[in-house]
Structure 1
Amino acid sequence: MTIRHMILTMSLLGAVWLGADRVQAAEPPRPNFVIFMTDDQRFDALSCAGNTILQTPNIDRLAAEGLRFTNMFVTNSLCAPSRATLLTGQYSHTHGVRDNKKKQIPATTAILPEILREHGYEVAFCGKSHVRGALRDRKWDYYFGFKGQGNYLKPVIAEGVDGKDLPREGYMDDIVTGKAVQWLKQRDSDKPFCLFVWFKAPHRSWLRARRHHDLFKDVAIPKPKTYDADLKGMPGKPDAFRNANNRIGDFNDVRSLDGFVKDYYATLVAVDENVGRVYDALKELKELDDTAILYTSDNGFFHGEWRAFDKRLMHEPSIRVPLLIRYPKQIAAGRVDDRMVTNVDIAPTVLDLAGAKTPESMHGHSTVPLFAGDKKTPWRDAWLYEYYEFPGAHSVRKHRGVRTDRWKYIHYFAEPQEYELYDLQADPDEVHNLYGQPEHEQTVQILRQRLLDLRRETDDPDLE
């Protein structure tokens, strides 16, 4: 072999080795995202979560083909604060949207879709934002949204952040989903995408799609265990809980448990059908398995526990919501995880999957390390809850609390101060308030300190 041949051979081999190194070093393809959010959907309003009345086959399919978190919580059970938390990865006391009165996320606060855009994603929003300005002050590649609560029938919606709010014929969530599917099918880009589909349902007051007029007609809604509990005769329940203005029968549109729950469920049947439409569109486009699909809600809802409806309070029906994640490239089908995750974790999870660094300003943690199901993976043992809208709708007083796997401690911090303490293992229905009992004083002190630590860790400006 001549020297010339040797040099040529070595050059070719070097090129092969360099190419191989580049292949090995290449980043894996980034997933697309579809992020579904409902409004007021409690954790067990899904057939995959054990509901025997409501059937949600399309949503159940996400769980069957992915991961269902059974202990997913919101850190402020109210629409605007919770949605701002999903978008910012921050607690209410940091992003500033503490209640439904001050709904504006500060323009200086980075939100998830804008961070994704900076990392090369196309982002689209379809549906209900429930923040001031309806997210029209933010950058979107496609926008189809409405202000405020919107109407179930003949809703007024704008296409484009500068578009006109125009009445649309049909049922709100059908229309929103139709535009989302249309955008998916018509987009012409090699970029990965993130599509937010945020439904109106099942928010009060509940109006069914006409096709569901007779659903549940012959079904009886069972009363929860505490429906007939005598609140006045239970000294363990504080006045802050007893005096909340959220009792079934006291409102014209919530006259009975049976009536409102059936309507609530019927609106979720429409949601389920629309989730199926998006799933089918992704499948048709051959994007399904390249897309991480997340499904969650902004808060839970009482279904007659203590004869109550609505949310706000730091009790399980109010704070627990669904979280399903389907992404077969990283999640085995049919996984169920009972570790405590919260809505501050959603933005970090999406950014982690997208290969983007989570900003230090975010309080949450990526759930990606939990996808493999290893119970030895370090994870939180407690989380912070806060609620601020008082005086306000339903007269729920301001409170904070801490929840662990076993204990829940609630502090109504406006005068007169009151407290609740529950052993969730022995008392999952939160019937027996243990606060003030000498044998639980040490537990109270531990939880009180944990609450303080969590507030410090998340830079709560209200700390004295």
Structure 2
Amino acid sequence: MNKSRLSTVALTSVGLGALSLFSACNQKAPAPKKPNIIFIMSDDHAYQAISAYDQKLIQTPNIDQIANQGARFDHCFVTNSLCSPSRAVILTGQYSHRTGARDNSFSMRIKPDITTFPMLLQKAGYQTAIVGKWHLLNKPKGFNYSSILIGQGNYYNPDFITNGDTARAHGYATDITMDKALNWLSNMRDKSSPFCLMIHNKAPHRDWLPDTTDFQEFSKDLPLPATLFDDYSGRGKAAHEQMMEIDKNMHLYNDLKYNASGPIPNDAPTDLRRELDRMDSAQRATVLKFYASEDAKVDTSKMTHREFVIWKYQRYVKDYLRCIRSVDRNVGRLLDYLKQAGLLDNTLIVYTSDQGMYLGEHGWFDKRFMYKQSFRTPLLMRYPPKIKPGTVVDAMAMNLDFGPTFLDLAGVPKPDYMQGTSLVPLFGGQTPPDWRKAVYYHFYEYPGWHAVKRHYGIRTQRYKLIHFYYNVNEWELYDLKNDPEEMQNVYDKPDYRLVRDSLTTQLRLLQKKYGDSDSLAEKFLEHDKPMMDRFKNVY
């Protein structure tokens, strides 16, 4: 090529480049890509059973990835520590007195006129889906795809209602739930749209029936909680009169699968028998063989009372942790898929529980109380565009905030009726000066399962004030700095009078802010009378 030809090509190239640059400058920048949202919620997964929080009981390497590559929230709380109410709060961003779903025994239905965050995301162009445990009387709304368990669901061979059609799936519930989630992600969604996928595990809810592949886990005894033999001497009637003690209220047959091959005791629930009846012959044989081998290791008739309680604790928590093994393994499957599909960088991944859980603390199982282990819930978030790896958030968050957070990231305005606050300002690990200084709680289900009395309260970074009411009128105050396990009520201590008065004022202000009151609680008592009559011969 001669020099003139080279010059012509060079000039042409420069001209085209300049023209291209000019055109680019005059074109609108592409709209920012909306984040995908994956919300993973397990049932009754205690924060102390996630190794990102506490390594004494279990290692959860896959769940921990979300924290290690994102943020761990150390002070996330629920508004009402119970399955159905918590789910309603998360979906609506509102307290239980406004959602209509206040308890598990009578009110499990969200008011039909309430718009949920999935409905708002769907309207904004998101593909939405929910798989796993639903546990509300409402039919799912705002989802392009739903495949939900019936009620509490079953661990083995559960029935799923998929877009209105019911069918039985063969296998273990945690595996099947993730199978459905991955199938929707891979094969069913419109991949031209952002998505919001809610994955709700049944595990590790009572009756803590593990996958057969995890039976050999946790063969060694676990450390005992310091308060396993709490006598409640520092607290009032509510702590004394509950019915959720490992010692007195945990069933040998149903909960601990003791003599699972034998006849069902007259006083035992029949959940375990129903699970066994659903199993195929191989599943059933493996389950019964394992628990028979566990039974053969002990002679409960020769145990002292203390030894018997410790044995029950070990049997309970080991099965509970075995259920979490399956949850963690399936979280790993999800993370692997997202990496392979190139979805990790633009997807907010959330791991949480519908509330906390007692793993022998105060001698208890279950939840319900405003005391620490059930009031606090795990919250881990991974979202590279806004959260640096290893972030630790100390500010007080609530499950009330989840919906507003998702809407904020999606660029959807939060409706005025939502009472939560977006957590996005906390993603940097710093607490804004105007962030909440206290959280409010209200539990309604009494009389009801486990006989935890109705109560409401307030928690600040240092103190917790609780009022138990209905068939009792007692106040409790805890100094969480000096008494982190909430063993000694200091409400009547003269040294705490000013603290008590200040917290009472703050409590009433929060009630006013959220639209709750003692008079409203009285109305609910009258409304709940049919439920209460149902339990009057039990408690």
Fold-level similarity (TM above 0.5): yes
Of 197, 200, 216, the residue aligned with 1:198 is 200
AA partner of residue 429 (structure 2): G
Give the Cα–Cα distance (whole angstroms) in 2 for the partners of residues 446 and 377 of structure 1: 20
Whether the 8 Å contact between 1:73 and 1:341 is mirrored in structure 2 is yes
Whether the 8 Å contact between 1:37 and 1:298 is mirrored in structure 2 is yes
Aligned to 1:173: 174
1:259 and 2:264 aligned: no
Of 146, 149, 157, the residue aligned with 2:160 is 157
Whether the 8 Å contact between 2:44 and 2:356 is mirrored in structure 1 is yes
Whether the 8 Å contact between 2:246 and 2:365 is mirrored in structure 1 is yes
1:216-295 to 2 correspondence within 5 Å? 216-217=218-219, 219-231=220-232, 234=233, 236-249=234-247, 250-252=249-251, 253-254=254-255, 256-295=312-351
Q: Equivalent residue of 1:132, what SS? A: coil
Distance 1:376 1:176, change over 3 A: closer
AA partner of residue 193 (structure 2): K
Whether the 8 Å contact between 2:465 and 2:476 is mirrored in structure 1 is yes
Whether the 8 Å contact between 1:152 and 1:207 is mirrored in structure 2 is yes
AA partner of residue 44 (structure 1): Q
1:72 and 2:73 aligned: no
Aligned to 1:378: 434
After TM superposition, the score normalised by the length of structure 2 is 0.79
1:254 CA displacement: 4.5
Whether the 8 Å contact between 1:93 and 1:461 is mirrored in structure 2 is no
AA partner of residue 242 (structure 1): H
Give the Cα–Cα distance (whole angstroms) in 1 for the partners of residues 206 and 20 of structure 2: 69
Map Cα deviations across residues 268-313 of structure 1 (whole Å, 9 max, x no partner).
Answer: 1100011111111111211111110011000111111221111001
Whether the 8 Å contact between 1:221 and 1:257 is mirrored in structure 2 is no
Give the Cα–Cα distance (whole angstroms) in 1 for the partners of residues 61 and 316 of structure 2: 22
Aligned to 1:338: 394
Aligned to 1:46: 50
Aligned to 2:271: none
Of 105, 115, 119, the residue aligned with 2:124 is 119
1:139 CA displacement: 3.3
Aligned to 1:128: 133
AA partner of residue 150 (structure 2): K
Q: Equivalent residue of 2:440, what SS? A: strand
Give the Cα–Cα distance (whole angstroms) in 1 for the partners of residues 388 and 218 of structure 2: 34
1:16-27 to 2 correspondence within 5 Å? 17-19=25-27, 22-23=28-29, 27=31
Paired residues, number: 442
Give the Cα–Cα distance (whole angstroms) in 2 for the partners of residues 172 and 304 of structure 1: 25
Of 402, 416, 440, the residue aligned with 1:360 is 416
1:175 CA displacement: 0.5
The root-mean-square deviation of aligned C-alpha atoms, in Å, is 1.7
1:27-46 to 2 correspondence within 5 Å? 27-46=31-50
Whether the 8 Å contact between 1:370 and 1:377 is mirrored in structure 2 is no
The answer to which of 413-422 and 28-37 deviates more is 413-422
AA partner of residue 75 (structure 1): T
Q: Equivalent residue of 1:41, what SS? A: coil
Give the Cα–Cα distance (whole angstroms) in 1 for the partners of residues 168 and 195 of structure 2: 28
Distance 1:211 1:360, change over 3 A: same
Give the Cα–Cα distance (whole angstroms) in 2 for the partners of residues 295 and 87 of structure 1: 15
Give the Cα–Cα distance (whole angstroms) in 2 for the partners of residues 228 and 286 of structure 1: 50
Distance 1:461 1:399, change over 3 A: closer
1:378 CA displacement: 2.8
After TM superposition, the score normalised by the length of structure 1 is 0.92
Aligned to 2:269: none
1:44 CA displacement: 1.6
Of 85, 99, 115, the residue aligned with 1:81 is 85
1:103 and 2:113 aligned: no
Identical-pair percentage: 41
Give the Cα–Cα distance (whole angstroms) in 1 for the partners of residues 37 and 431 of structure 2: 26
Ranges in structure 1 where 5+ consecutive residues have no aligned partner: 1-10
1:18 CA displacement: 3.9
Q: Equivalent residue of 1:195, what SS? A: strand
Map Cα deviations across residues 295-353 of structure 1 (whole Å, 9 max, x no partner).
Answer: 10001111112211110011001111110110001111111111110100111111111
AA partner of residue 181 (structure 2): A
Of 62, 65, 68, the residue aligned with 1:61 is 65
Give the Cα–Cα distance (whole angstroms) in 1 for the partners of residues 146 and 115 of structure 2: 18
Distance 1:376 1:145, change over 3 A: closer
Aligned to 1:185: 186
AA partner of residue 214 (structure 1): Q
AA partner of residue 128 (structure 1): K
Whether the 8 Å contact between 1:411 and 1:417 is mirrored in structure 2 is yes
Map Cα deviations across residues 243-274 of structure 1 (whole Å, 9 max, x no partner).
Answer: 00011032214461101100010101100011
AA partner of residue 459 (structure 2): R
Give the Cα–Cα distance (whole angstroms) in 2 for the partners of residues 60 and 416 of structure 1: 42
Q: Equivalent residue of 1:124, what SS? A: strand
1:148 and 2:147 aligned: no
1:377 CA displacement: 4.5
AA partner of residue 327 (structure 1): Y
Aligned to 2:11: none
Give the Cα–Cα distance (whole angstroms) in 2 for the partners of residues 361 and 266 of structure 1: 40
Give the Cα–Cα distance (whole angstroms) in 2 for the partners of residues 397 and 177 of structure 1: 36
1:144 CA displacement: 0.9
Map Cα deviations across residues 143-192 of structure 1 (whole Å, 9 max, x no partner).
Answer: 111221011011111221x21x2221100110111011011111343000
1:459 CA displacement: 1.4
Give the Cα–Cα distance (whole angstroms) in 1 for the partners of residues 230 and 111 of structure 2: 43
Whether the 8 Å contact between 1:300 and 1:321 is mirrored in structure 2 is yes
The answer to which of 370-379 and 415-424 deviates more is 370-379
Whether the 8 Å contact between 1:90 and 1:362 is mirrored in structure 2 is yes
AA partner of residue 133 (structure 2): K
Whether the 8 Å contact between 2:394 and 2:431 is mirrored in structure 1 is no
